[in-house]
C-alpha cells in the first residue's frame, strides 16, 4: 500500500484547496499552503454607526457590542465600521463564544451564513470547512491579520478559549492579503492584555469523559497602564465519540502590551500548545464492483493501540502601531511559528507512521494616512508583506502486522520537503464623499517554491496582480447598498497526478467575484442586518477524488453563485440572537466530462441557522440565561459524479444552553456561574459523504462548566 493509498479515511480529503502558500495537500499526491474614519465636512452624519459604544473585542482590531459587530480591520486593514464595509463580513464575538461554548473552529462558525462545516463528521484533527462552497482549510485561515503558516499535514490547531473573536470576510481578499482563498478568509483574533483587571478560572466536565481546566488573567502591570499583561492557559483530558480517539491538550498563551503614550502601542503575543488526538479518522466503507465506495459502516477504521496523533506547536510575534505624525500611522506585525507532529495510523489492520515539521515567518508593514482632497476624505494604506515557510515530511507503512501491542514501528520509506517565499506590495484607498463610500486596492505578488517529493525536484516562480473595488451609499435611514468586485490568487507549487498517469506542476488558482449587497444598522437599536448576492468564478482549483481508494489530485474550474442573509442583535432586554440563511449553487465547469455542470460534492444548496440567548434581567429568576439554536443543512451530493447511494440527505441539528449566576442566590458567590451546553441535542446522526468517502455526523455532546470571575 502506497502512502497515498493509506490516506483513505485518515486525512481529510480536501475537496477544493487551491493550495497556495500553505502548501495544500497536493504535496502528498506524488507517488514513490481604530481609529474611526474622519468624515469630510459635507459627510452625512449617522450617529448609530459610530463605534464608540462598543463594549467588547480588541481596540482598533475588532469591536463588538454583545453579538453585534461594530468595527474591525480584517476587511480593509483600517478600523472601518462593519455597517459601512462594502463586502460581506461576520464576526463571532467573545460573548457569543461564551454563550455557545464551541469546542473547535467549525462549531464556532456553525451559525455563520455560508459556512459549511461537518463535511467530515466529527473529524477532530483539522479545522476543515468551506465558505461559499470553496474550501478554506489551507488557504483561508489567518491569525491576527497574518497568514497562518501550514504544511500538508501540519495545520495549526486553534483553541477557542484563547480567542477573542473570529472575523469572517467572505469573498476575495487577495488585494491586501495576497495568496488566499476566493471564498474568503477567517481571521482568528487572539486574546490581548486589558486595562481592566480580569481574573477567571473555569472547570468543565462533559461527554466522552471530557475534563478541562482553564484560566484567563489580565490587567495592568504598572499603575500608569504603560505595561499590561495577559496569561491564558488550558489543560484537557478527553476522548472523541470514537473511544479510540483522544482529545488531550495543554495550552499556554502569554501576552504583553507596552503603550508609553497615545501614539505608540506594542503588543507581544505568544502561544505553546501540546495536543494529542487520533491518527486515524473515519469509518470503514463498503466498496462496489467498480472499486468505489457505496457507503460507510459504523465500524471505526483504526485501532486504539497505535493511534496517537501528537502535535507540538508554538508561535511568538508582535504588533506595533505608531503614529508618525498627525494623520500618518505605521502598522507593523511579525510572527514566527513552529510545528512538529507524529501521526500513528492503522487502516484495515495496516499500520503506518508519519512525521512532519514546519516553520515559518509572516510579516506585514504598511503606512496608513488620512487626508482630504476637496470634498473627499481619504484613508490610504500602502504596504509590503512577506511570508516564508519550509517543511519536511517523513512517512512509512508496514506489512500486515497485528499483534497485542504495536511494538513494531513501520520503517520510513518516503521523504519530501519544500521551501516557499512570497512577497507582495499593495495600496488601497478608502474615500468618503458625503454619503458615498468608495474603495479601491491593487496588489502584486511574487511567489517562489522548491519542492522535493521522494527524490524528485521541482521549482516554480509565479507572479500575479490582484485588485478589489467597491462603491456604497449610506442613506439617511442607515441602509447602505453596495457593489464590489475582487480577484484572488493562490500559487499551487506542488505536482498534479493526472488520470492515466503522468504529472505536471499545478497551475495557480485564480478567482474573481462580483457581489451586490445591503447593510442596515437599525436606528436606536443594537441590530445589524445584511444581505448579499454573489458570483465567484474560480480557475484551476485543486480537487481530490478518493472514491477509488487513491487520492487523485486534479484541477477544476467552478462557479459559485448564491444569496446570503444575516441578522445579529443584542438588546437591552437581555435578548441576543444571530443567524441567517444561505443559498449556494456551486457548479463544476471543468474537470471530467461526466462531472461538468454538477454541483460540487458536499455543498448544500440551502443552509439556515438561528441561535437565540435570553438573560433574565430582574425578578426571582434574575441571573438565569437560556439559549437555543437550530441549524439546517440541506441535501448535497457525496461525490462529484453524483452517485445516488452517496447522496447526503437534509438534516437539522438542535443546540441548547442554560446558565445561572449564583450571586443571585448568595451575594458571597459573586462571580460564580454554572452553565450547561448541548450540541446536537436530539442526537441527529446520519451518514455524510465527501469526495466519495463516507463518515457520520457527530452525535449529542453535553458540556457542563463552572466559571469563577474575581
| pLDDT 10s digits, 177-221 | 999 999 999 999 999 999 999 999 999 999 999 999 999 999 999
The distance of Cα 362 from the centroid of its chain, to the nearest Å, equals: 17
pLDDT band at 29 (very low <50, low <70, confident <90, very high): very low
| Residue 39 pLDDT | 38
What span, in angstroms and rounded, lies between the C-alpha atoms of 499 and 513? 30
How far, in Å, CA of 239 to CA of 613, rounded?
A: 29
Q: What is the pLDDT of residues 263-285, one digit of tens each?
A: 999 999 999 999 999 999 889 99
- Report DSSP letters for 606-645, one per residue: EEEEEEEEEE--SSTTTTEEEEEEEEEE--B-SSTT--GG
Whole-number Å distance between alpha carbons of 394 and 391: 10
- Asked whether the predicted pLDDT for residue 686 surpasses 50, the reply is yes
pLDDT at 45 (0 to 100): 39
Residue 577: strand pairing partners:
569, 612
Average pLDDT over residues 165-175: 97
**d(Cα 425, Cα 440) in Å, to the nearest integer?**
15
pLDDT digits (tens, 9 = 90+) for 588-621: 999 888 999 999 999 999 999 999 999 999 998 9
User: pLDDT tens digits, residue range 490-547?
Assistant: 876 556 655 555 666 677 889 999 999 999 999 999 999 999 999 999 998 876 555 4
The whole-angstrom separation of Cα 90 and Cα 686 is 29
Checking if the pLDDT of 53 tops 50, the result is: no
Total number of residues shown for the chain:
710
How confident is residue 47, by pLDDT bands cut at 50, 70 and 90? very low
What is residue 11's predicted lDDT score, i.e. its pLDDT?
38
pLDDT of residue 13: 33
Instruction: For residues 683-687, give the mean pLDDT.
Output: 96
Contact 320, 266 (CB under 8 A): yes
Q: Tell me the pLDDT of the chain averaged across its residues.
A: 89
pLDDT in tens, 556-575: 899 999 999 999 999 999 99
Between 41 and 247, the higher pLDDT residue: 247
Work out the average pLDDT over 437-458: 91
Place 290 in a pLDDT band, splitting at 50, 70 and 90.
confident
Output the pLDDT for position 507. 78
Answer CATH for 5-709 from 2.40.170.20, 1.10.10.10, 1.10.3720.10, 3.50.50.60? 2.40.170.20
| Residue 475: per-residue pLDDT | 97
Residue 292 has pLDDT above 50, yes or no: yes
According to DSSP H, which parts of 63-167 are helical?
94-100, 105-108
Band (24; pLDDT cuts 50, 70, 90): very low
Amino acid at each position: 500500500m502506497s502512502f497515498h493509498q493509506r490516506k483513505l479515511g485518515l486525512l481529510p480529503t480536501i475537496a477544493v484547496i487551491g493550495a497556495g502558500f500553505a502548501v495544500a495537500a497536493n504535496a502528498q499526491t506524488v507517488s514513490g499552503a481604530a481609529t474611526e474614519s474622519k468624515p469630510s465636512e459635507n459627510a452625512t452624519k449617522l450617529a448609530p454607526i459610530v463605534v464608540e459604544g462598543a463594549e467588547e473585542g480588541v481596540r482598533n482590531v475588532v469591536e463588538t457590542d454583545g453579538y453585534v459587530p461594530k468595527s474591525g480591520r480584517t476587511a480593509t486593514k483600517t478600523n472601518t465600521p462593519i455597517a459601512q464595509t462594502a463586502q460581506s463580513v461576520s464576526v463571532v464575538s467573545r460573548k457569543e463564544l461564551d454563550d455557545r461554548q464551541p469546542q473547535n473552529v467549525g462549531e464556532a462558525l456553525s451559525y455563520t451564513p455560508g459556512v459549511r462545516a461537518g463535511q467530515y463528521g466529527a473529524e477532530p484533527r483539522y479545522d476543515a470547512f468551506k465558505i461559499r462552497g470553496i474550501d478554506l482549510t489551507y488557504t483561508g485561515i489567518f491569525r491576527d491579520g497574518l497568514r497562518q503558516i501550514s504544511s500538508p499535514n501540519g495545520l495549526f490547531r486553534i483553541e477557542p478559549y484563547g480567542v477573542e473573536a473570529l472575523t469572517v470576510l467572505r469573498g476575495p481578499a487577495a488585494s491586501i492579503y495576497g495568496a488566499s482563498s476566493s471564498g474568503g478568509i477567517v481571521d482568528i483574533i487572539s486574546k490581548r492584555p486589558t486595562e481592566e483587571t480580569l481574573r477567571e478560572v473555569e472547570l468543565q466536565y462533559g461527554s466522552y469523559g471530557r475534563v478541562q481546566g482553564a484560566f484567563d488573567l489580565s490587567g495592568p502591570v504598572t499603575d500608569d497602564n504603560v505595561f499590561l499583561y495577559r496569561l491564558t492557559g488550558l489543560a484537557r483530558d478527553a476522548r472523541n465519540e470514537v473511544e479510540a480517539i483522544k482529545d488531550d491538550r495543554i495550552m499556554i498563551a502569554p501576552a504583553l502590551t507596552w503603550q508609553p503614550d497615545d501614539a505608540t502601542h506594542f503588543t507581544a503575543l505568544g502561544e505553546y500548545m501540546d495536543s494529542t488526538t487520533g491518527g486515524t479518522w473515519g469509518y470503514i466503507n463498503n466498496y462496489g464492483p467498480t472499486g468505489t465506495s457505496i457507503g460507510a459502516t459504523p465500524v471505526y477504521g483504526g485501532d486504539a493501540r497505535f493511534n496517537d496523533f501528537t502535535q507540538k506547536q508554538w508561535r511568538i510575534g508582535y504588533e506595533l502601531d505608531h503614529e508618525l505624525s498627525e494623520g500618518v500611522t505605521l502598522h507593523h506585525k511579525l510572527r514566527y511559528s513552529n510545528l512538529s507532529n507524529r501521526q500513528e495510523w492503522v487502516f484495515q489492520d495496516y499500520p503506518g507512521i508519519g512525521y512532519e515539521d514546519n516553520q515559518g515567518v509572516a510579516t506585514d508593514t504598511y503606512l496608513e494616512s488620512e487626508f482630504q482632497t476637496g470634498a473627499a476624505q481619504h484613508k490610504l494604506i500602502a504596504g509590503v508583506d512577506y511570508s516564508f515557510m519550509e517543511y519536511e515530511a517523513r512517512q512509512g507503512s508496514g506489512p500486515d502486522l497485528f499483534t497485542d501491542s504495536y511494538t513494531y514501528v513501520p520503517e520510513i520509506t518516503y521523504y519530501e520537503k519544500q521551501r516557499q517565499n512570497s512577497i507582495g506590495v499593495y495600496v488601497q484607498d478608502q474615500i468618503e464623499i458625503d454619503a458615498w463610500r468608495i474603495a479601491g486596492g491593487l496588489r502584486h505578488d511574487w511567489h517562489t517554491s522548491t519542492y522535493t517529493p521522494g527524490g524528485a525536484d521541482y521549482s516554480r516562480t509565479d507572479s500575479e496582480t490582484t485588485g478589489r473595488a467597491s462603491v456604497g451609499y449610506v442613506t439617511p435611514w442607515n441602509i447602505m447598498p453596495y457593489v464590489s468586485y475582487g480577484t484572488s490568487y493562490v500559487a499551487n507549487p506542488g505536482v498534479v497526478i493526472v488520470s492515466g498517469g503522468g504529472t505536471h506542476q499545478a497551475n495557480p488558482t485564480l478567482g474573481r467575484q462580483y457581489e451586490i449587497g445591503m447593510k442596515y444598522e437599525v436606528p436606536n437599536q443594537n441590530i445589524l442586518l445584511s444581505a448579499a448576492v454573489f458570483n465567484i468564478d474560480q480557475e484551476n482549483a485543486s480537487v481530490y477524488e478518493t472514491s477509488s481508494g487513491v487520492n487523485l489530485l486534479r484541477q477544476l474550474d467552478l462557479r459559485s453563485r448564491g444569496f446570503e442573509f444575516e441578522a445579529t442583535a443584542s438588546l437591552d432586554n437581555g435578548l441576543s440572537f444571530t443567524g441567517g440563511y444561505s443559498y449556494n449553487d456551486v457548479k463544476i465547469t471543468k474537470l471530467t466530462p461526466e462531472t461538468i455542470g454538477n454541483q460540487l460534492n458536499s455543498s448544500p444548496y440551502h443552509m439556515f441557522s438561528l441561535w437565540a440567548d435570553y438573560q433574565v434581567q430582574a425578578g426571582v429568576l434574575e441571573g438565569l440565561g437560556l439559549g437555543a439554536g437550530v441549524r439546517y443543512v440541506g441535501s448535497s451530493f457525496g461525490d462529484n459524479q453524483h452517485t445516488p447511494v452517496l447522496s447526503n440527505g437534509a438534516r437539522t441539528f438542535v443546540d441548547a444552553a442554560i446558565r445561572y449566576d449564583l450571586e443571585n442566590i448568595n451575594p458571597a458567590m459573586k462571580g460564580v456561574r454554572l452553565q450547561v451546553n448541548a450540541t446536537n441535542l436530539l442526537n441527529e446522526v446520519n451518514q455524510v459523504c465527501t469526495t466519495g468517502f463516507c463518515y457520520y455526523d457527530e452525535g449529542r455532546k453535553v458540556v457542563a462548566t463552572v466559571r469563577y470571575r474575581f
